[in-house]
C-alpha cells in the first residue's frame, strides 16, 4: 500500500478531516489533499504525520503491517 493510500485510510479510520490533520501538523488542508493524491512529502512531514496520528513510520511507508508505534 502506498503512503497516499495509507494517509487517507488512517485519516478516515480516525474520523479526521483533511483540515483537522493539517491543523495537527501545521500545514494547509490543500497540502493534505495533495499528499493523498500522491504528491511527495518531505521526511519531516512524514514524521509529523506519524507523531500526530500515533502510527509507526514503517507502517506509513508500507514496510510493515503493524500500525502502532513501538
Cut 0.75: pTM above it:
yes
Distance CA 34, CA 66 (A): 25
Residue predicted with more confidence, 58 or 4? 58
Helix (H), strand (E) at residue 57: helix 57-60
All domains in the chain, ordered by first residue: 3-60 (1.10.260.40)
**Residue 68 reports pLDDT greater than 70:** no
Contact 22, 2 (CB under 8 A): no
pLDDT in tens, 11-51: 999 999 999 999 999 999 999 999 999 899 999 999 999 99
Q: What is the mean pLDDT of residues 46-63?
A: 91
**Residue 62 reports pLDDT greater than 90:** no
Give Cα 58 distance to the centre of its chain: 12
Cell of 9: 485510510
Amino acid at each position: 500500500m502506498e503512503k497516499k493510500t495509507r494517509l487517507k485510510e488512517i485519516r478516515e479510520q480516525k474520523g479526521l478531516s483533511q483540515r483537522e490533520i493539517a491543523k495537527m501538523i501545521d500545514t494547509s488542508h490543500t497540502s493534505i489533499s495533495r499528499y493523498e493524491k500522491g504528491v511527495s512529502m518531505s521526511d519531516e512531514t512524514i514524521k509529523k504525520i506519524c507523531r500526530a496520528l500515533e502510527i509507526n513510520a514503517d507502517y506509513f511507508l508500507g514496510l510493515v503491517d503493524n500500525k502502532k508505534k513501538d
